[in-house]
Amino acid sequence: VAGPVNLLIGLWMGASIPLSPALLVALVTGFFAYGLSLALYVLALRDLGAARTGAYFSTAPFLGAVLSVVALGENVTWGLFAAGALMGLGVWLHVRPPRREK
- DSSP letters of 70-93? HHH-PPP-HHHHHHHHHHHHHHHH
Digits of tens for pLDDT over the chain (102 positions)?
Answer: 787 898 899 999 999 887 888 888 888 888 888 888 889 999 999 998 998 888 788 888 888 888 899 999 989 999 888 988 988 888 888 778 888 877
Predicted local distance difference test score (pLDDT) of residue 78:
92
Residue 54, exposed/middle/buried by CB under 10 A (0-12, 13-18, 19+)? middle
Predicted local distance difference test score (pLDDT) of residue 51:
85
Predicted local distance difference test score (pLDDT) of residue 71:
93
**What pTM was estimated for this model as a whole?**
0.53
* Residues 62, 83 contacting (CB under 8 angstroms): yes
* Residues 22, 16 contacting (CB under 8 angstroms): no
Predicted local distance difference test score (pLDDT) of residue 92:
84
